[in-house]
């Protein structure tokens, strides 16, 4: 989990701003799929937001696993609302701190919309864990 927090912190720097990722992704998508620059801007937005969903969904899963190993409960030992809710709160906290950090970097924008997206990804991850545990 600590390693994943480091990855999130690195992604929050100017090195992975939209301008810098477009310098890598545009030539790649243009070469592979012939994407024009106008269409790339549209796709670039969704690729970056998809990165938020993946990154914070994975963080939520890692937090759930950490809390499951740390806090004992008397109910089903594979899933607990307590573990899931703390994992979502932790995800929201990291997302908030990440966006706050980005607000101080000239090439980045810290926005509450990304905090909502990231927290939603954490909630979705917990829903997936719930159904995964209950049906397997």
Q: Which residue, 122, 54, 111, is CA-closest to 87?
A: 122
**Average pLDDT estimate for 40-60:** 95
* pLDDT band, residue 98 (cuts 50/70/90): very high
Q: How many domains does the chain have?
A: 1
96-105 long-range Cβ contacts below 8 angstroms, 24+ apart: 98/8, 98/9, 98/12, 101/9, 101/12, 102/12, 105/12, 105/13, 105/14, 105/17
**Average pLDDT estimate for 38-44:** 92
The parent domain of residue 59 ranges over 2-135
At 58-86, the pLDDT tens digits run 999 999 999 999 998 776 688 999 999 99
pLDDT at position 76: 63
């Amino acid at each position: 989990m600590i390693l994943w927090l480091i990855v999130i912190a690195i992604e929050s720097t100017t090195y992975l701003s939209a301008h810098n990722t477009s310098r890598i992704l545009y030539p790649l998508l243009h070469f592979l799929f012939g994407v024009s620059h106008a269409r790339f801007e549209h796709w670039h937005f969704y690729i970056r937001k998809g990165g938020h969903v993946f990154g914070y969904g994975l963080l939520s899963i890692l937090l759930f696993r950490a809390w499951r190993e740390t806090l004992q409960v008397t109910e089903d030992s594979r899933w607990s609302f307590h573990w899931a809710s703390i994992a979502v709160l932790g995800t929201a906290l990291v997302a908030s701190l990440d966006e706050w950090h980005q607000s101080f970097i000239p090439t980045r924008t810290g926005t509450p919309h990304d905090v909502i997206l990231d927290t939603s990804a954490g909630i979705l991850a917990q829903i997936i864990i719930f159904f995964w545990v209950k049906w397997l």
